[in-house]
Amino acid sequence: MNEALLNDLRTYHDLLKERVQLENELKEMPRTLEILETQMLAREKKNHADIRQEYDKIEENLRMLRQSFTEAEMAREKAEHQMDGITNQREYEAVSKEIKEAQQKEDEYRKRIQEQERIFAEVADRLNRVEKSIEDLERQIAEKRAEINEKSAEKLAQIQAIATEEEEIANRIGADIKFRLERIIKHKPGEGIVPLRGAVCMGCHMILPASFVNQVRSTEDISFCPYCSRIIYYEQSEEDTIFEDIVAGALSDLVMEGEESEGVESEEGEDFGNGVSGRKSSKKRRKVTQEKIDFDLIEDDYEN
Ligand SMILES: [Zn+2]
């Protein structure tokens, strides 16, 4: 592939990647709001409703207990008045019994009222805390919503700016390539433009057919890996020798062994055995230089 086209593709790839990332962030942002609203706030509201129900029940209980207490109190007072008008022992005993029973009831209700009041205070405290928590959450949600609106506007502006930059390059690389590259970036992890080293695609690490490898090495056009669909370009490397050997029909067993191990990914190339190591060291130096040049080219491309 020619260098200008590859640089265009790389620039486009990076812009696209940034845009896709921004679009994903934009999509993700309302999710935190959704969690706050539909999970946390909804749970607190349900909690509040339950506590409120308990609160109302105890309040009603207390009202009834206080009424019963007042009735017992009145019964006792009435009996105490009766005490003034008694004329014999039998009446005295009957009224005394009434007073005693009313007092017992009073004591019993007083005890229950105190107990219920203690529980009521606890429930009122819980209710209060939940109400505060709901207030906090509602404030957080409002703040988050404002923040999301602000950040969304920022991200949309960034996306728009990138899209404008993209358009300029898209005119050069064409709609079809743009569409394919966008699909790769959205659906494949890692880089969308990968080198071919030896006969191996550095995107999916599959060994590609020799005829395809030759085509990638010689064509000026864009090639796509038949396995992972990533854009693939030829990069000179020490594995080239191995590839050429395969094509020549030699050393094939040795290479297969190397491919199975991490040899293809390794920059050292040590897995390829002693037989080729001497030749490798000079190749390796050349490769390092090559990478440096490529890197500089990309830098220039960004600056211009
Ligand atoms: Zn591939």
Q: Where are the domains of the chain?
A: 3-173, 188-303
Task: Decide the pairing of beta strands 193-197 and 200-201.
Answer: antiparallel
- As a whole number, mean pLDDT of residues 18-33 equals 91
Distance (Å, whole) CA 237 – CA 241: 8
- For ligand 1, the distance from its centroid to the CA atom of residue 218, given in whole angstroms, is 18
Query: Residue 241 Cα, ligand 1 centroid: separation in angstroms?
Result: 20
CA of 55 to the centre of ligand 1 (A): 66
Q: Which fold has domain 3-173?
A: Helix Hairpins (1.10.287)
Per-residue pLDDT tens digits for 76-96: 999 999 988 889 999 999 999
Distance 290 CA to ligand 1 centre (A): 22
User: How much distance in Å is there from the Cα of 200 to the middle of ligand 1?
Assistant: 8
The secondary structure element, H or E, covering residue 104 is helix 89-173
pLDDT tens-place string over residues 264-296: 443 433 333 344 444 444 444 444 333 333 333
Q: Helix axis angle, 175-187 relative to 3-34, nearest 10°?
A: 50
The contacts of residue 201 (CB under 8 Å, 6+ apart) are 194, 208, 225, 227, 228, 230, 232
Ligand 1 centroid – CA 205 distance (Å): 6
Task: Tell how far the Cα of 195 is from the centroid of ligand 1, in angstroms.
Answer: 9
> What does the pLDDT look like over 161-197, one tens digit per residue?
999 999 888 888 888 988 999 999 999 889 999 999 9
